[in-house]
Chains A and B, each alone.
Chain A
Amino acid sequence: MGLRPATGTVRIDGRDVTGASPRDRLRAGIAFIPEDRQEDGIVADFSVADNLVLDTFDRPPLAAGIAMNRSAIRDRAASLVAEFDVRTSSIDTAVGTLSGGNQQKVILAREVGRRVRLLIASQPTRGLDVGSIEFVHRRIVAERDAGVAVIIVSSELDEIYALSDRIAVMYEGKITGFRPPSVPVTELGLLMAGAQAEAAAAAGAGTGGAEAAGVADTATDTAGTAADTAAAATDIAANAADTADTAEESR
């Protein structure tokens, strides 16, 4: 997925992954929670277990050569389901039959269940029930506490205030400013509105780990299409990843 910067580089722990394939980026330690979970996050017809190993199915111990190790996959799925409190009747249930909250927990479990250095979460709680939102937020903060750089792209101001260490605001694809989470909402609103009242608004938030600086931002182009938003958001995520890296270097 995504991460196609127009200029500059994307580096993870100093390693350049600018032109890397999605697989290499995942292997480099990027975890990504996509905005459109039905389309990009899950394979609805696949079981919970298969969805939990969608990006690790071909690595030991889940596979030896090209032979999948079904019992290892089931063990891993069972432990992730328990750890992330996925409410499912069994790990063989088709993930499409679960509630949105539980689908999101499956994605979260898959993404941060392995060793990651950077978590990019796009609209991580959109459309979820209160319990699931709470769970997802707790897990994201836990990742931050564990030293993972986190970028959250969100259109929910409450979410941004609740989770961010730094807030970057985007307007028409351009970052209009960085603010601490103590920023009054009116100021954020002005930044989001840019100069024109009817223009697209954008807001985002991020949590920076104790070690790695997290930057955050986002774009929600209310006038544009969903695809436009996704494109803009990914662009910025790349930008932010870069910034995070730079911040780390300058530290």
Chain B
Amino acid sequence: MTDDAAVLPPGQQESEPAPERGRLRGFDRAIIEAIVQGSPAVTTAVAIVAALLIGALIIAFSDATVLHAWGSFFAAPGAAISATWQSAAAAYSALFEGAILNPHTVAAALHGGSVGAIFYPLSETASQATPLILTGLAVALAFRAGLFNIGAASQWIGGAIVVTYLGFAISLPPVIHVIVCLLGGFVGGAVMGWLVGDLKARTGAHEVIVTIMLNYVMYNLLSYLLGTPSALQQPHQANLTSPNIAADAQLPHVGGPPPQVGVGFLIALAAAVGMWWLVARSTVGFEFRTVGANPSAARTAGMSVQRTWVLAMLLAGGLAGLSAAVTIQGSFYSLNFQSYGTYGIDGITVALLGRAKPLGVVLAALLFSALETGATTMEAATQVPVDIAEVIEGLIVLFVAAPLLIRAVFRMRAAQRGGMAAVAKGWNG
């Protein structure tokens, strides 16, 4: 080797945009660290209780009876307070009965009624939670590798298109058809995820931008396919909906009727266990976590950061695609904007609340699903609109996320200060 080889090209020291050490610990990494490490479970519990309390106040003070009672607060303060309590308590107990357990069904069962009816609300909650668990896992898995997967919605659509097509257009023997559709959903979502990971690995395109834009692309593609009879639209239909998938491709239910657990719920739980094993016990997950925690050290230790990004996005997309599969094969049986729902976006909040951990995601999805399932009963019983469930969900996320955000900001500042101090003093042994 000649001496020239050792010489940096003239001007390189100036023109090369050497990243400052402080900036390497960017805001996104600080946020991900804050989410993954999280705060104690107590904080989450406090956030939930606080959100429920504020929700109670909103319920009570949108009730005309309560407002009227407060109008004469100084004449009868006790009446105002008890009216508030009663209004909120009635709404919440209806919500609880609709989502978890209705004491009347227990009483009825004791007097010879249906025992199964006791578990009906719980089975509804589980069924609602199924797609949420999977999109939550899709976001959580990417988080562990240091990636923000905002694209569970587009990955869901990617999976849904494949599932629906395989479901109604081909005929296969019963069990095989179910499995082929599930795999198809996983692959459809995985392709969408892979696209994002590959773009990031090759060009450095930030996954947040790419996934958000792909959400629009896929939403409009879905809209086009569902409105085109030669594509996915049900023939002789004006509505944007696909034909029903074949009975052979539908996921069976265990138990029931009426209380029954869809096989999709079991698949979601299995996926959660699978993700736990992958992240905590496998070499693949070790690379995910290392790249997520410190990409520079991962690279130095010989890991391929790019390959990890691609693989993490591919698996995350697959989970979102699986969510589409269990939604379409397990409950809606056709693809339309009703079955599309808001699972992709809700998956982000579920992953956030669940601290990007599989068990946390399952619990968070069950909580959100319980709020939404119970809200229907609540509206029927007390005229409190179902939207209050979303208000409470929003408050929970706000209370959980705000401290994380604040901590992330402080962490980043501390890191920057630390970085500068280190330059000034060296690292103290």
Interface residues of A (CB under 8 A from B): 1, 5-9, 21-27, 32, 34, 36-46, 50, 54-55, 57-58, 63, 66-68, 70, 99-101, 104, 126-129, 132-133, 170, 172-175, 221, 224-228, 231-232, 235-236, 239, 242-243, 246
Kindly name the residue among A50, A58, A70, A246 whose own CB sees the greatest number of chain B CB atoms within 10 A: A58
Contact present for B300 and A5 (CB under 8 Å):
no
Contacts of B427 in A (CB 8 A): 37-38, 100, 126-128
Contact present for B294 and A63 (CB under 8 Å):
no
| 6 A-B contacts (beta carbon < 8 Å) | A6-B4, A21-B302, A41-B300, A43-B293, A68-B281, A227-B16
Contacts of B19 in A (CB 8 A): 227
Is B237 close to A, CB under 8 A? no
Contact present for B301 and A70 (CB under 8 Å):
no
Contacts of A22 in B (CB 8 A): 299-303
> Which residue of B5, B6, B300 is within 8 Å of A40 (Cβ)?
B300
- Known interface pairs A6-B5, A100-B428; A45-B283 also in contact (CB < 8 Å): no
A68-B282, A68-B283, A225-B18 are known; give 13 further A-B pairs, CB within 8 A.
A23-B303, A26-B301, A37-B427, A43-B294, A46-B290, A63-B283, A101-B429, A127-B428, A173-B8, A225-B20, A235-B5, A239-B5, A242-B1
In the complex, A66 Cα to B426 Cα: how many Å? 39
Is B172 close to A, CB under 8 A? no
Contacts of A228 in B (CB 8 A): 13, 16, 18
Taking the closest CB of chain A, its distance from the CB of B376, in whole angstroms, is 42
Contact present for B13 and A99 (CB under 8 Å):
no
Contacts of A27 in B (CB 8 A): 302
B residues contacting the other copy or chain, number (CB 8 A): 43
Contacts of B8 in A (CB 8 A): 172-173, 231-232, 235
Kindly name the residue among B37, B294, B301 whose own CB sees the greatest number of chain A CB atoms within 10 A: B301
Taking the closest CB of chain A, its distance from the CB of B348, in whole angstroms, is 23
Among residues of A, the one whose C-beta sits closest to the C-beta of B2 is A7
In the complex, A99 Cα to B290 Cα: how many Å? 21
Give chain B's interface secondary structure class. Answer: helix
Is B42 close to A, CB under 8 A? no
Contact present for A32 and B300 (CB under 8 Å):
yes
In the complex, A99 Cα to B429 Cα: how many Å? 6
> Which residue of A7, A32, A126 is within 8 Å of B5 (Cβ)?
A7
Among residues of B, the one whose C-beta sits closest to the C-beta of A59 is B283
Is B342 close to A, CB under 8 A? no
Is B24 close to A, CB under 8 A? yes
Is B284 close to A, CB under 8 A? yes
- Known interface pairs A36-B21, A225-B18; A175-B3 also in contact (CB < 8 Å): yes
Taking the closest CB of chain B, its distance from the CB of A158, in whole angstroms, is 15
Tell me the total A-B contact number using a CB cutoff of 8 A.
146
- Known interface pairs A67-B281, A68-B282, A100-B427; A43-B297 also in contact (CB < 8 Å): yes
Contact present for B4 and A7 (CB under 8 Å):
yes
Contacts of B393 in A (CB 8 A): none
In the complex, A141 Cα to B302 Cα: how many Å? 25
Contact present for B7 and A173 (CB under 8 Å):
yes
> Which residue of B20, B281, B283, B297 is within 8 Å of A58 (Cβ)?
B283
Is B43 close to A, CB under 8 A? no
Among residues of B, the one whose C-beta sits closest to the C-beta of A50 is B286
Contact present for A66 and B6 (CB under 8 Å):
no
Contacts of B37 in A (CB 8 A): 45
Among residues of B, the one whose C-beta sits closest to the C-beta of A58 is B283
Contacts of B18 in A (CB 8 A): 225-228, 231
Among residues of A, the one whose C-beta sits closest to the C-beta of B281 is A68
In the complex, A224 Cα to B297 Cα: how many Å? 23
In the complex, A184 Cα to B5 Cα: how many Å? 28
- Known interface pairs A34-B300, A45-B37; A243-B1 also in contact (CB < 8 Å): yes
Is B33 close to A, CB under 8 A? yes
Taking the closest CB of chain B, its distance from the CB of A121, in whole angstroms, is 13
Kindly name the residue among A6, A24, A37 whose own CB sees the greatest number of chain B CB atoms within 10 A: A6
Contact present for A8 and B299 (CB under 8 Å):
no
Contact present for B281 and A8 (CB under 8 Å):
no
Give 1 or 0 for each of B33-62: 1 = CB within 8 Å of chain A CB.
100010000000000000000000000000
Is B304 close to A, CB under 8 A? yes
> Which residue of A34, A44, A126, A174 is within 8 Å of B7 (Cβ)?
A174
- Known interface pairs A57-B286, A243-B1; A21-B304 also in contact (CB < 8 Å): yes
Give 1 or 0 for each of B266-300: 1 = CB within 8 Å of chain A CB.
00000000000000011110110110011011111
Taking the closest CB of chain A, its distance from the CB of B311, in whole angstroms, is 11
Is B110 close to A, CB under 8 A? no
> Which residue of A42, A126, A226, A236 is within 8 Å of B6 (Cβ)?
A236
In the complex, A57 Cα to B422 Cα: how many Å? 30
Taking the closest CB of chain A, its distance from the CB of B71, in whole angstroms, is 56
Contact present for A23 and B293 (CB under 8 Å):
no
Is B423 close to A, CB under 8 A? yes
Contact present for B21 and A226 (CB under 8 Å):
yes
Contact present for B6 and A235 (CB under 8 Å):
yes
The 5 closest A-B pairs by CB, nearest first: A8-B1, A227-B18, A127-B427, A23-B302, A129-B429
Contact present for B294 and A239 (CB under 8 Å):
no
Contacts of B283 in A (CB 8 A): 57-58, 63, 66-68
Taking the closest CB of chain A, its distance from the CB of B85, in whole angstroms, is 46
In the complex, A43 Cα to B303 Cα: how many Å? 13
Taking the closest CB of chain A, its distance from the CB of B145, in whole angstroms, is 13
Taking the closest CB of chain A, its distance from the CB of B238, in whole angstroms, is 50
